[in-house]
Amino acid sequence: AQKITQTQPGMFVQEKEAVTLDCTYDTSDPSYGLFWYKQPSSGEMIFLIYQGSYDQQNATEGRYSLNFQKARKSANLVISASQLGDSAMYFCAMGSLSGGGADGLTFGKGTHLIIQP
Amino acid sequence: DAGVTQSPTHLIKTRGQQVTLRCSPISGHKSVSWYQQVLGQGPQFIFQYYEKEERGRGNFPDRFSARQFPNYSSELNVNALLLGDSALYLCASSLEHTGTAAYGYTFGSGTRLTVV
């Protein structure tokens, strides 16, 4: 079974500051993918960044980077130079790459990020 | 290109009724997954369909069923609705049945179901 833990229910951050959202995971799968999604109040899950378990380098997508520490089973999201529009729920998720997606994605409970001007 | 389209956007049903939710994937995507997101929680996996076949099922009762059509659109059916079925139901599409950076999962805006 897979498990995602997000320990920060809510965070307040000043605009233009960097922010780190924590995510730890547990799985017995040798091959897996880690995802971060943003969910604004409209409800849509917006894909931000992906890290494969065998990727040697940490993933980056614009202002988003994923701090992947495999031995510690952590996959923290770093947002540089935060903006007011970054205020939303953020979910960490993982999926098996060896099971053909039969178990879908496992999500954490999310972190509510609020950017203050 | 249109993204993942879900209908209806909002729905109110009475306990015991049945409901059908619809999802149209991104053009060219062959896999559709369904998730239930209750208030304050992350989404929970319900089903995955690929090439019209069920490829995975989460821990949901048999009241939940789904199917995928030849055009890859999908329907989620829930029978004998309970108050606890009130949630945002999200549909995600992907090219293949394993989401990777190359394919990813693209989510729709969801159907918000309220059972009264």
Residues of B in contact with A75 (CB under 8 A): none
Q: Is the pLDDT of residue B100 over 80?
A: no
What confidence tens digit (pLDDT) does each residue in A48-60 have?
999 999 988 999 9
Choose the closest CB to B43 out of A52, A96, A107.
A107
Q: Is the pLDDT of residue A70 over 80?
A: yes
Mean pLDDT of chain A: 93
The pLDDT of residue B1: 61
Element (H, E) at B74: strand B74-78
Q: Is the pLDDT of residue A98 over 80?
A: no
Residue B1 · residue B26 · CB < 8 Å: yes
What confidence tens digit (pLDDT) does each residue in B15-67 have?
999 999 999 999 988 999 999 999 999 999 999 998 899 988 999 999 999 99
Residues of A in contact with B76 (CB under 8 A): none
Residue contacts between A and B (CB atoms, under 8 Å): 86
What confidence tens digit (pLDDT) does each residue in A7-33 have?
999 999 999 999 999 999 999 888 899
With cut-offs at 50, 70 and 90, classify the pLDDT of residue A104. confident
With cut-offs at 50, 70 and 90, classify the pLDDT of residue B105. confident
User: What's the average model confidence in pLDDT over A80-103?
Assistant: 88
Radius of gyration of chain A (CA): 14
**Chain A CB within 8 Å of residue B101 CB:** yes
**Chain B CB within 8 Å of residue A59 CB:** yes
With cut-offs at 50, 70 and 90, classify the pLDDT of residue B101. very low
With cut-offs at 50, 70 and 90, classify the pLDDT of residue A97. confident
The better pLDDT of the pair B1, B104 is held by: B104
Residue partners of A43: CB distance under 8 A and separation at least 6:
B88, B90, B109, B110, B112
The pLDDT of residue B96: 73
Residue B47 · residue B54 · CB < 8 Å: yes
The pLDDT of residue A99: 64
Within 10 angstroms of residue B87's Cβ, the number of other Cβ atoms is 20
C-alpha A2/C-alpha A23 separation (Å) is 13
